[in-house]
């Protein structure tokens, strides 16, 4: 198993931050701009528990896919996703904590569990560069929160 987590403080009120991280249409557009293909798998309508997406993307020169389902939705604080790819089971937990009326903290955690020997070996190799991967993950979350703060 490999876990990534980061905490990012921002000058955005907690409700506005949660609204931004749960704006699934905007998140889909961000993924599309980064070259991913996103397909909503459930019947559409408002997003809630049970909403699901199929995400196709290239990573390290190879095509990848991830089935992602919203399993926990507790506005204005908590989002939980469960995902599955051919190699990994993925859990994503996003928590928004109000620090003051005008400041908040975004806590993002991703758990990856291998589904086979090849995936175990990939995770073992990735653990050698864990600190570098943690920095990249934290930077991506920081960039995302920075874009949210600017749009407020």
Average pLDDT of the residues of the chain:
92
d(CA 104, CA 96): 7
At 142, the pLDDT band (50, 70, 90 cuts) reads very high
Q: What CATH code would you report for 2-151?
A: 3.30.530.20
Q: Averaged over 113-141, what is the pLDDT?
A: 93
User: Do 95 and 77 form a contact (C-beta atoms < 8 A)?
Assistant: yes
Q: What percent of the chain has pLDDT over 90?
A: 76
d(CA 128, CA 1): 14
**pLDDT value at position 141?**
92
d(CA 51, CA 5): 24
Kindly state the DSSP code that residue 129 receives in the 8-state scheme: T
User: Which is more confidently placed, 76 or 149?
Assistant: 76
Provide the residue ranges of all domains of the chain, joining segments of one domain with +: 2-151
Counted residue by residue, the chain has a size of 152
**pLDDT value at position 26?**
87
Residue 72 has pLDDT above 80, yes or no: yes
**pLDDT value at position 152?**
61
H or E segment to which residue 110 belongs: strand 104-114
**pLDDT value at position 61?**
86
d(CA 52, CA 70): 6
Residues 6+ apart with CB under 8 A from 71: 49, 80, 81, 82
Q: What percent of the chain has pLDDT over 70?
A: 97
**pLDDT value at position 147?**
79
Q: Averaged over 89-107, what is the pLDDT?
A: 97
Tell me the HSE value of 82 on the side-chain side, using a 13 A CA sphere. 4
Residue 44 has pLDDT above 80, yes or no: no
Cis peptide before 76 (omega within 30 of 0): yes
Backbone phi and psi for residue 103, each to the nearest 5 degrees, phi listed first = -130, 150
User: Do 21 and 29 form a contact (C-beta atoms < 8 A)?
Assistant: no
**pLDDT value at position 149?**
67
Residue 132 has pLDDT above 90, yes or no: yes
Q: Where does 41-129 have alpha helices with state H?
A: 117-127
């Amino acid at each position: 198993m490999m876990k990534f987590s980061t905490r990012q403080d921002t000058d955005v009120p907690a409700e506005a931050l949660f609204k931004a991280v749960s704006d699934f249409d905007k998140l889909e557009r961000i993924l599309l701009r980064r070259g991913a293909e996103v397909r909503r798998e459930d019947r559409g309508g408002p997003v809630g528990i049970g909403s699901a997406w199929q995400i196709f993307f290239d990573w390290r020169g190879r095509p990848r896919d991830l089935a992602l389902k919203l399993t926990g939705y507790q506005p204005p604080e908590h989002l939980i996703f469960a995902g599955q790819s051919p190699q990994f089971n993925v859990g994503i937990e996003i928590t928004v904590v109000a620090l003051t009326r005008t400041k908040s903290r975004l806590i993002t955690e991703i758990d990856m569990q291998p589904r086979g020997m090849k995936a175990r070996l990939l995770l073992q190799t990735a653990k050698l560069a864990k600190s570098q991967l943690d920095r990249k993950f934290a930077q991506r979350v920081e960039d995302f929160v920075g874009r949210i703060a600017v749009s407020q």
